[in-house]
């Protein structure tokens, strides 16, 4: 339990606070609408479905207020760059933004289901009480004030065919409710892992239905079909004393309770006014000239762009759009250049329709290169790498890109003899399926090897390259040239390891070498690898200040 707390205590506190607010809101407003005397007559028609509908509506609005905040990239970058109190803990929480975004989305789906089902019951009960002729309180209330605006039952006639469906699809609350629900269903279902990985465009376009969702949410409660008794009417016709007179009163009745109660709309939810908070994350794209286009092995395209007016930190990412391919599609790419360089760059690997098309477009070598639009940069967990004395960097395939920026920046810091560098040791792990993937990064590692050796800091960087997909011929070739000074696959001094890392052994070795250090573990790779690293961080961390602590950080886009 102690090891788990090292990495997750703040996240657990935030989650508990969010769950607590949801439970409080639902419970408080359920009891309010289930007991408040202003809704006595409304409950006479609707029963407990009123409380279920209104309590879930309050939670819906609260979570709708939150849903955009975790994906407001400009806001997150601002917080990451300005927070100073509990800096490491708070900044780590920002790296869980997409997880929190998904949790809030699931809550929205749950409360939408509760709200919709409750209102379906409400419509049926409104319809039943309007058609009833038994002289019950619900029937009498439903027929009051049909000719003015003081009615309680929104269904004013018992002659309309399919009255429930008519109200659901012809009133503002009914129609917007249907639109909101359909938009939410499409957004949630298109966000599944399978859709995002295999049909990213479907996910991308469908997720922009959020605009329709919020517009519908803002106007959903304007008509106010669900009503309660007015304050003025409560003073004269209090339901606690007067309900029986409504059922049994005679024409010659002179009692004040013989007067009919008056009703008005329940005020619209104030939470709906918070939905525009997502504008903080609105994109601010700009065009940038290309200063270099390099095609690397394994079909990896490097785009180097002019840095004029562009400020960045290590490990940050940008969103890229190529209008020649698609006007609407924006895709995230980690910056592979260092802040010290006079250009900024990204590496694009063929991994889908859009990336295939942009690589093919630049390979055609047309006289006029395609225009590139850029939005960003935005902060990530990798920005914090220099906040740790010891860092373990783990990249899988093209996931090495944020660490290219970090390693380049270290090279420049050594050149400039930067005395402010807090990091004393970096362990770098790169996992690739095929030998071609190593090629474009070899030159950087080779230059780092040479520079570290020349500056007397050869021990600063320890790197391990793992080839996870290989055949017998590669293994035989490696065994044949095992005694050579350089690796047969990469040409580097450190030999390529065939297979996957034994993470328990790696973490134990780091813990032994740095017994009292705080170690930052950074991953840019798949979820399965993240689980392995997270488990190892927990197993090898201790709350004892005299022992090592591992803090897990993962790139999220």
For 348-366, how does the pLDDT look when each residue is reduced to its tens digit (9 = 90+)? 887 778 888 888 888 876 7
- The answer on pLDDT for 25 being more than 90 is yes
- The answer on pLDDT for 221 being more than 80 is no
Q: Exposed, middle or buried: residue 412 (CB in 10 Å: 0-12, 13-18, 19+)?
A: middle
Pairing of strands 425-432, 461-467: parallel
Q: What is the pLDDT of residue 283?
A: 47
Give the whole-angstrom CA distance, residue 403 versus residue 521.
12
Token pair for 157: 């006639």
Query: Of 200-204, 273-277, 368-372, 447-451, where does the model show the most confidence?
Result: 368-372
Q: Which residue, chain included where needed, has tokens 């009133």?
A: 171
For 150, left (φ over 0), alpha (ψ -120 to 50), or beta?
alpha
For 186, left (φ over 0), alpha (ψ -120 to 50), or beta?
alpha
Give the whole-angstrom CA distance, residue 67 versus residue 536.
31
Q: Are 425 and 385 in contact (CB under 8 A)?
A: no
The alpha carbon of 111 is separated from its chain's Cα centroid by a whole number of angstroms, namely 19
Average pLDDT of the segment spanning 260-271: 68
Give the whole-angstrom CA distance, residue 114 versus residue 108.
10
Q: Are 408 and 341 in contact (CB under 8 A)?
A: yes
Position 90 confidence tier, pLDDT thresholds 50, 70, 90: low
Token pair for 114: 């509760």
Domain boundaries, the chain: 21-281, 286-371, 381-554
- The answer on pLDDT for 537 being more than 60 is yes
Q: What is the pLDDT of residue 273?
A: 45
- The answer on pLDDT for 84 being more than 50 is no
Q: What is the pLDDT of residue 256?
A: 66
Average pLDDT of the segment spanning 358-375: 83
0.75 exceeded by the pTM? no
Q: What is the pLDDT of residue 21?
A: 94
- The answer on pLDDT for 215 being more than 80 is yes
Give the whole-angstrom CA distance, residue 400 versus residue 405.
9
Position 81 confidence tier, pLDDT thresholds 50, 70, 90: low
Q: Among candidates 340, 293, 285, 349, which has minimal Cα distance to 314?
A: 340
Task: Give the tens place of pLDDT for each residue, 456-509.
Answer: 676 778 888 888 766 565 555 555 555 555 555 555 656 677 778 888 888 888
Q: What is the 3-state secondary structure (H, E, C) of 337-348?
A: CCCCCCEEEEEE
Q: Are 55 and 31 in contact (CB under 8 A)?
A: no
Say which residue, 322 or 447, is predicted with more confidence. Answer: 322
Position 280 confidence tier, pLDDT thresholds 50, 70, 90: very low
36-50, 53-67, 102-116, 262-276: which range is least confident on average? Answer: 262-276
Give yes or no for a cis peptide into 87 (omega within 30° of 0): no
- The answer on pLDDT for 400 being more than 80 is no
- The answer on pLDDT for 381 being more than 60 is yes
For 557, residues 6+ apart whose C-beta sits below 8 A from its C-beta are: 98, 317, 332
Pairing of strands 390-396, 518-524: parallel
Q: What is the pLDDT of residue 151?
A: 83
Give the whole-angstrom CA distance, residue 5 versus residue 21.
22
CATH fold match for the domains 286-371 and 381-554: no
For 87, residues 6+ apart whose C-beta sits below 8 A from its C-beta are: 387
Say which residue, 145 or 533, is predicted with more confidence. Answer: 533
Whole-number percent of the chain with pLDDT over 90: 10
Position 277 confidence tier, pLDDT thresholds 50, 70, 90: very low
What CATH number has the domain spanning 286-371? 2.40.30.10
Token pair for 47: 């029963």
CA dihedral 80, 82, 84, 88 (to 10 degrees): 10
Pairing of strands 227-229, 263-265: antiparallel
Give the number of C-alpha atoms closer than 13 A to the C-alpha of residue 88, restricted to the C-beta side: 18
Q: What is the pLDDT of residue 51?
A: 92
Q: Are 305 and 288 in contact (CB under 8 A)?
A: yes
Class of domain 381-554: alpha beta
Q: Which residue, chain included where needed, has tokens 């095609």?
A: 295
74-88, 270-284, 468-482: which range is least confident on average? Answer: 270-284
- The answer on pLDDT for 179 being more than 80 is yes
Say which residue, 305 or 491, is predicted with more confidence. Answer: 305
SS3 526: coil
Average pLDDT of the segment spanning 73-83: 66
Per DSSP, 435 falls in state: G
Q: Where are the alpha helices (DSSP H) in 36-162?
A: 40-46, 49-67, 73-82, 87-94, 97-131, 137-142
Give the whole-angstrom CA distance, residue 551 versus residue 88.
10
Token pair for 373: 């639009």
Query: Of 24-28, 154-158, 249-253, where does the model show the most confidence?
Result: 24-28
Q: What is the pLDDT of residue 24?
A: 95
For residues 206-226, one letter each, b for 16 or more C-beta atoms within 10 angstroms of the residue's C-beta and e for the rest, the string is beebbebbbebbbebbebebb
Q: Among candidates 195, 196, 188, which has minimal Cα distance to 213?
A: 188
């Amino acid at each position: 339990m102690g090891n788990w707390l090292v990495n997750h205590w703040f996240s657990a506190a935030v989650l508990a606070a969010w769950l607590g607010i949801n439970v409080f809101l639902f419970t408080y407003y359920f009891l309010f609408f289930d007991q408040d005397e202003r809704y006595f007559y409304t409950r006479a028609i609707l029963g407990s479905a009123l409380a279920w509908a209104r309590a879930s509506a309050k939670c819906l609005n609260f979570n709708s207020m939150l849903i955009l905040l975790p994906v407001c990239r400009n806001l997150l970058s601002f917080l990451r760059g300005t927070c100073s109190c509990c800096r490491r803990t708070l900044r780590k929480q920002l790296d869980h933004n997409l997880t929190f975004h998904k949790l809030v989305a699931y809550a929205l789906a749950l409360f939408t289901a509760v709200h919709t089902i409750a209102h379906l019951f409400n419509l049926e009960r409104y319809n039943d009480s309007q058609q009833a002729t038994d002289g019950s309180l619900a029937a009498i209330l439903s027929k009051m004030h049909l000719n003015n605006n003081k009615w309680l039952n929104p269904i004013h006639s018992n002659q309309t065919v399919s009255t429930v469906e008519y109200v659901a699809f012809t009133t503002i609350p009914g129609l917007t409710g249907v639109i909101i629900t359909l938009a939410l269903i499409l957004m949630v279902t298109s966000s599944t892992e399978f859709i995002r990985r295999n049909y990213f465009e479907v996910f991308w376009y469908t997720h922009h239905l959020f605009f329709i969702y919020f517009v519908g949410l803002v106007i959903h409660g304007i008509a106010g079909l669900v009503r309660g008794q007015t304050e003025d009417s409560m003073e004269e016709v209090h339901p606690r004393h007067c309900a029986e007179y409504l059922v049994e009163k005679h024409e010659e009745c002179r009692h004040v309770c013989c007067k009919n109660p008056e009703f008005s709309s329940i005020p619209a939810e104030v939470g709906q006014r918070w939905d525009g908070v997502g504008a903080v994350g609105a994109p601010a794209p700009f065009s940038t000239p290309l200063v270099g286009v390099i095609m690397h092995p394994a079909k990896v395209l490097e785009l180097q762009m002019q840095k004029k007016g562009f400020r960045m930190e290590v490990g940050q990412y940008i969103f890229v759009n190529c209008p020649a391919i698609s006007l609407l599609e924006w895709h995230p790419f980690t910056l592979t250049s260092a802040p010290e360089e006079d250009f900024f760059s990204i590496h694009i690997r063929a991994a889908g329709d859009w990336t295939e098309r942009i690589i093919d477009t630049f390979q055609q070598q047309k006289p006029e290169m395609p225009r590139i639009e850029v939005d960003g940069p935005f902060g990530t967990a990798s920005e914090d790498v220099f906040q740790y004395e010891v860092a373990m960097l783990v990249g899988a395939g093209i996931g090495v890109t944020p660490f290219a920026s970090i390693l380049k920046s270290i090279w420049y810091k050594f050149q400039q003899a930067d005395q402010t560098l807090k990091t004393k040791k970096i362990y770098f792990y790169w996992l690739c399926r095929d030998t071609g993937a190593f090629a474009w990064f070899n030159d950087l590692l080779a230059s780092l090897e040479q520079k570290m050796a020349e500056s007397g800091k050869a021990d600063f960087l320890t790197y391990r390259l793992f080839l996870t997909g290989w055949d017998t011929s590669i293994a035989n070739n490696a065994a044949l040239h095992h005694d050579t000074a350089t690796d047969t696959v990469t040409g580097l001094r450190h030999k390529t390891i065939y297979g996957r890392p034994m993470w328990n052994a790696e973490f134990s070795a780091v813990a032994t070498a740095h017994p009292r250090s705080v170690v930052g573990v950074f991953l840019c790779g798949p979820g399965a690898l993240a689980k392995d690293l997270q488990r190892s961080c927990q197993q090898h961390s201790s709350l004892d200040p005299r022992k090592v602590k591992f803090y897990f950080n993962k790139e999220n886009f």
